[in-house]
Amino acid sequence: MKRLFFLSYGIASYLACLLTMAYSAAFFGNLLVSRTIDGVAVVPFDEALPVNLALLLIFALQHSGMARKSFRRFLSARLPDCLERSTYVLVSSAAVIAVMALWQPMGGVVWAVEHAVFSVLIYAVYFAGWALMLNASCLIDHFELFGVRQTWTYFRGGQCESQELQTPGLYRHVRHPIYLAWLLVLWASPIMTLTHLVFAAGATIYILVDIRLEERDLAAELPDYRQYQRKVPMLLPSWRKRLLPRSE
pLDDT tens for the chain, 248 residues long, are: 788 999 999 999 999 999 999 999 999 999 989 889 988 888 898 899 999 999 999 999 999 999 888 888 888 788 888 899 999 999 999 999 999 999 999 888 888 998 899 999 999 999 999 999 999 999 988 999 999 999 999 888 877 666 677 888 899 999 999 999 999 999 999 999 999 999 999 999 999 999 999 999 999 888 889 999 989 999 988 777 665 554 44
Determine contact, residues 17/148, Cβ cutoff 8 Å.
Answer: no
Say how far apart CA 86 and CA 154 lie, in whole Å.
13
Say how far apart CA 74 and CA 91 lie, in whole Å.
15
Which one-letter amino acid corresponds to residue 117? V
Say how far apart CA 131 and CA 126 lie, in whole Å.
9
What is the per-residue pLDDT for 248?
Answer: 40
Q: How far apart are the first and last CA of the chain?
A: 44
Cα separations in angstroms, 169 against 63, 172, 181, 230, 239: 26, 6, 15, 18, 11
Residue 136 contacts by C-beta under 8 Å, 6 or more apart in sequence? 170, 171, 177, 178, 181
Q: What is the pTM of this model?
A: 0.88
Say how far apart CA 222 and CA 228 lie, in whole Å.
10
Paired with 191 in beta bridges are: 112
Say how far apart CA 199 and CA 55 lie, in whole Å.
10
Q: What are phi and psi of 27, to 5 degrees?
A: -65, -50
Which sign does the torsion angle of CA 47, 53, 59, 62 carry? negative
Say how far apart CA 248 and CA 233 lie, in whole Å.
16
Determine contact, residues 196/37, Cβ cutoff 8 Å.
Answer: yes
Say how far apart CA 150 and CA 145 lie, in whole Å.
9
